[in-house]
Chains A and B, each alone.
Chain A
Amino acid sequence: MATERRILQLNVNGDDYEVVCASNTTLLEALREKALLTGTKRGCDLGACGACTVLMDGEAILSCVTLAVDAVDSEIRTIEGISEGGELSPLQQSFVDHGALQCGFCSPGFVMSATELLAENPSPTRAEIQRRLAGNLCRCTGYVKIVEAVEAVAATAEGGAA
Chain B
Amino acid sequence: MKTMNVVGRRVPMHDAAAKITGQAQFTDDLTLPGMLFGKMVRSTVPHARIVSIDTSAARALPGVKGILTGQDIPDRVYGIVPKAKDEHALARDKVRYIGDEVAAVVAVDQETADEAARLVIVLYDELPAVFDPLDAIKEGAPLVHDHVPNNTSAQIRKEFGDLARGFAESDYVFEDSFYSQAVNHAPMEPHAALASYDALNGDFTIWTATQIPYFLKRNLATTMGVPENKVRVIKPKVGGGFGQKIDMYSKDFCACWFARELGRPVKFVYDREEVFQCTRQRHPMYITVKTGVDKEGKILAQEIVAHADGGAYNSTAPLMITLSCFFVMIPYRIENLVYEGYHVYTNKPVGGAMRGHGIPQPRFAIERQIDLIAERIGVDAVEMRLKNAIHAHDEHPAGFIINTCGFAESVQTAADAIGWEEKRGKLPFGRGVGLAGAAFPSGVANMNNLASASVVQLMREGRVNVLSGAADIGQGAETVICQIVAEQVGVPMEDVHITAADTGLCPLDAGTFGSGVTVRAGNAAMAAANDVRAQLFDFVAGELDVTPDELDAADRRVFVRAEPGRGISLSDALHQYQYSGRPLPIVGRGSWVPPSTSPTTLLTENGNLSPNYSFMTQAAEVDIDLETGKVRVVKMLTAHDCGQPINPMLVEGQLEGSIMGGMGQALY
Report the minimum CB–CB distance from B37 to chain A (whole Å). Answer: 10
- Which chain B residue lies CB-closest to A78? B22
Which residue of the partner chain, among B10, B21, B188, contacts A106 with CB atoms under 8 Å? B188
Contacts of A79 in B (CB 8 A): 21-22
CA distance A38 to B62 in the complex (A): 27
CA distance A104 to B652 in the complex (A): 16
Known pairs A78-B22, A139-B186; A102 contacts B474 (CB<8 A) = yes
Contacts of A22 in B (CB 8 A): 111
Name which of A127-135, A141-149, A153-161 contacts chain B. Answer: A141-149
Q: Is B17 an interface residue (CB 8 A)?
A: yes
**Chain B, 649-668, CB within 8 A of any chain A CB:** 649-650, 652-653, 656-661
Contacts of A80 in B (CB 8 A): 21-22
Report the minimum CB–CB distance from A92 to chain B (whole Å). Answer: 5
Query: Is B656's CB under 8 angstroms from A104's CB?
Result: no
Contacts of A104 in B (CB 8 A): 15-16, 18-20, 24, 237, 239, 474
Contacts of A162 in B (CB 8 A): none
Q: Is A105 an interface residue (CB 8 A)?
A: yes
Q: Is B400 an interface residue (CB 8 A)?
A: no
Query: Is A105's CB under 8 angstroms from B189's CB?
Result: yes
Of A1, A82, A103, A111, most buried by chain B (CB within 10 Å of CB) is A103
Q: Is A7 an interface residue (CB 8 A)?
A: no
Known pairs A36-B31, A96-B17, A108-B22; A145 contacts B653 (CB<8 A) = yes
Contacts of A99 in B (CB 8 A): 10, 12-13, 649-650, 652-653
Q: Is B271 an interface residue (CB 8 A)?
A: yes
Known pairs A38-B29, A102-B657, A104-B15; A43 contacts B20 (CB<8 A) = no
Q: Mark A13-24, 1 if CB is under 8 A from B, else 0.
A: 000000000100
- Which chain A residue lies CB-closest to B273? A46
Which residue of the partner chain, among B12, B190, B661, contacts A96 with CB atoms under 8 Å? B12
User: How many of chain B's residues have a CB under 8 angstroms from any CB in A?
Assistant: 50
Q: Is A49 an interface residue (CB 8 A)?
A: yes
Q: Is A83 an interface residue (CB 8 A)?
A: yes
Known pairs A36-B31, A138-B188; A101 contacts B20 (CB<8 A) = yes
Report the minimum CB–CB distance from B478 to chain A (whole Å). Answer: 12
Known pairs A103-B189, A139-B185, A139-B188; A39 contacts B653 (CB<8 A) = no
CA distance A36 to B35 in the complex (A): 14
Contacts of B17 in A (CB 8 A): 88, 92, 96
Q: Name B's A-contacting residues (CB within 8 A).
A: 10, 12-13, 15-26, 28-29, 31, 62, 110-111, 115, 185-190, 237-240, 242, 269, 271-272, 473-476, 649-650, 652-653, 656-661
Q: Name A's B-contacting residues (CB within 8 A).
A: 1-3, 22, 32-33, 36-46, 48-49, 51, 78-80, 82-83, 88, 92, 95-97, 99, 101-108, 111, 137-145
6 pairs, A vs B, C-beta closer than 8 Å:
A79-B22, A88-B21, A103-B473, A103-B475, A104-B18, A142-B653
7 smallest CB-CB distances across A and B, nearest first, come from A39-B22, A103-B474, A104-B19, A105-B239, A142-B656, A79-B22, A142-B660
